[in-house]
Amino acid sequence: MNPGSLELDKKSALQIARIINTEDAKVAGAVKRCLPQIARAIDVIAGCLGRGGRLIYVGTGTSGRIAALDAAECPPTFDTDPSMVQFVIAGGERALAGAVEASEDSSESGEREIAKRKPARKDVVVGVAASGRTPFTIAAIAYARKAGARTIAVTCNRNSRLGRAAEMEIVTEVGPEVISGSTRMKAGTAQKMVLNMLSAGAMTRLGYVYGNLMVNLHPRNEKLLERATRILQLATGCSRSVAKKYLQLTEGHTPIALIMLKTGADISAAEMALATAHDNVRRAIEQARRSKAVSAKHLRRVQR
């Protein structure tokens, strides 16, 4: 029980907000203490994805919904294939909009659902559970690990069954909730922060981010087109009209447009550089510059 929120039901709205805010302020510190483990997990995830593997989140209730949100946000943010980052939630997709909490207790269901994804050595499976004792998630992680996948536990309790089932664990000790047992609060916030770091960190390591710009973007509506235009302007210093021209030339493929603007390469050379660099934008820019330098050197030799 949290001593800071005793008799919460007697407080004014402002007092309630202050108590919750005071407790929420502790979450960032709890996550900060886990940064070495988070960094290790980022490298594991980036390594698996770089080899063509998948990141598969597993969770129930609040944890499963937070995991689903992170997975759903990867394609629009990083233009990844939807199969690259997936989620498994107890109760299936209907659990995203409503409580299907009884399914949390089924180890058989957890094993069955993860088995459908056929986890393998190049995959990484992340089990998310505040308590670290959810049978569904523990069983899924144990199955995935036995199948050879890399496994990571994200919990708020040390020495948990989930932590022992996984190869590695990230434990954010946020302390008791303002509303006792309501892990959608501080625990949920901590999980959201950790999963943000895991996916964003891995995608950055893979080169889908240039500087701090979300360059791996393929705009499919006006809002995203404006975002891509602004990204090209910030990355290259070009004008708005030039950025729009290159997005039109590349049919909205922002990384190709960026490579062309940064190196002077034509579309085919930029596409080749990006493919050679396995979609790592910075490496592709370096590759395009090297290729152009080699071509120029060869031309000078021929002209002598």
In percent, the amount of the chain with pLDDT more than 90 equals 85
C-alpha 272/C-alpha 256 separation (Å) is 10
Active-site annotation, residues: 73, 104
**How many CB atoms within 10 Å of residue 236?**
16
Q: Where are the domains of the chain?
A: 3-205, 222-303
| CB < 8 Å & 24+ apart, contacts of 112-116 | 113/58, 113/88, 113/140, 114/56, 114/58, 114/88, 114/139, 114/140, 114/143, 114/144, 115/143
Q: Report pLDDT for 302.
A: 41
Q: Report pLDDT for 98.
A: 73
Digit-coded pLDDT (tens) for 59-75: 999 999 999 999 999 99
Mean pLDDT of the chain: 93
C-alpha 63/C-alpha 127 separation (Å) is 9
Contact between 192 and 179 (Cβ < 8 Å) = no
Q: Report pLDDT for 94.
A: 81
Give me the CATH code for the 222-303 domain, please.
Answer: 1.10.8.1080
C-alpha 78/C-alpha 282 separation (Å) is 15
What's the whole-model pTM score? 0.91
Stretches in the chain below the pLDDT threshold 70? 99-103, 292-304
Fold category of 3-205 in CATH: Rossmann fold (3.40.50)
Q: Report pLDDT for 299.
A: 43
Digit-coded pLDDT (tens) for 120-168: 999 999 999 999 999 999 999 999 999 999 999 999 999 999 999 999 9
